[in-house]
Amino acid sequence: MKCSKGENFSQGNLHRCGNIELSPASGILNNGQGLFEGLKAYRTDDGCLLLFRPEQNALRMKIGAERMCMPAPSVEQFVDAVKQTVIANKRWVPPPGKGSLYVRPLLMGTGPSLGAAPASEYTFLIYASPVGSYYKEGMKPTHLVVEDKLHRAFPAGTGAVKSITNYSPVFKAQNQAKTKGFSDILFLDAVNGKYIEEVSSCNIFIVKENVISTPETHGTILNGVTRRSIIDIARSFGYQVEERVIPVEDLLEADEVFCTGTAVVVNPVGSITYKGKRVEYKTGAEATSQKLYKTLTGIQTGVIEDKMGWVQPA
């Protein structure tokens, strides 16, 4: 679906595209003017294909488009396009319990933009791929290291939107961490280097007795759809959930730590290493993260009653 600068996608038509052609001078290639989203479709036991809160991804793309000076599809157009994509690819949606169809909407400046200025034309497209678990080892505890030199986001920058340019700055820190045997990195805030922010593509929560805390999304952290859903589920279980500024030292006191995101869903963190000191956390069947994971995936796959009204058929 295409539209010109200053217009909207209301006249656009969705069609099968396969590979796309891009001008070498396109805004996406030269200025990184692009946003993406990620959501999953699950197959239920009775063959239905379920989507989880797709309008939240549509809204996030709209907010991101405003920040990146791009036109965005309406929420209805976005959700309808996601549904059409899932239905067109339904044979690729894995059987229940075997994974999901990952759906990747992309919005980008495809018209030429030689100067540092918004592109003259925009394209919205969606592709999809069947996926299993995010981490190769499956739902096993991950081992994080706190990154205190490289940062992924700065205040008033684009850290809170899903800009394509947010991801390659993460690779160097991620590669360094993996070389040392860690699964991923935990970023600190770029101003003080004191407060925890997020992992490279998921949000973080810490558990201390009955209190679950997650960093507030003050402009540098992506406000994950999974994050918001887990906050609601945890509150419905009676946990006290706080969105607050979290000093890195709080990691030393936590009973449990876990990550959330569309790809990882809810993943327990087995340890975090900060300034060479490794702290271990509770994981396993009794962990809070397990309870939250089971409830969230149960709702997403149609196994648990969706009292929140979060799922809808494709």
Site for ligand PMP in 19-58 (CB under 6 A): 38
- Active-site annotation holds for 208: no
Q: Does 163 bind ligand PMP (CB under 6 A)?
A: no
- Smaller CB separation from ligand PMP, 105 or 111: 105
- State the Cα–Cα distance between residues 122 and 28, nearest whole angstrom: 9
Of 186 and 254, the one with the shorter C-beta distance to ligand PMP is 186
Q: Least Å distance between CB 255 and ligand PMP?
A: 23
Query: Pattern 171-200, binding to ligand PMP, x per CB under 6 A?
Result: ---------------------------x--
Among 2, 162, 178, 307, the active-site one is 162
Q: With binding defined as CB under 6 A, does residue 289 bind ligand PMP? A: no
Residue 85 contacts ligand PMP per CB under 6 A: no
Minimum distance from residue 105 beta carbon to ligand PMP (Å): 12
Shortest CB 186 distance to ligand PMP, Å: 12
Number of residues that bind ligand PMP (CB under 6 A): 13
Asked if 227 touches ligand PMP (CB under 6 A), the answer is yes
Beta carbon nearer to ligand PMP, 26 or 213:
213
* Shortest separation between residue 104's beta carbon and ligand PMP, angstroms: 11
The residues binding ligand PMP (CB under 6 A) are 38, 198, 201-203, 222, 224-227, 260-262
Cite the active site residues: 162
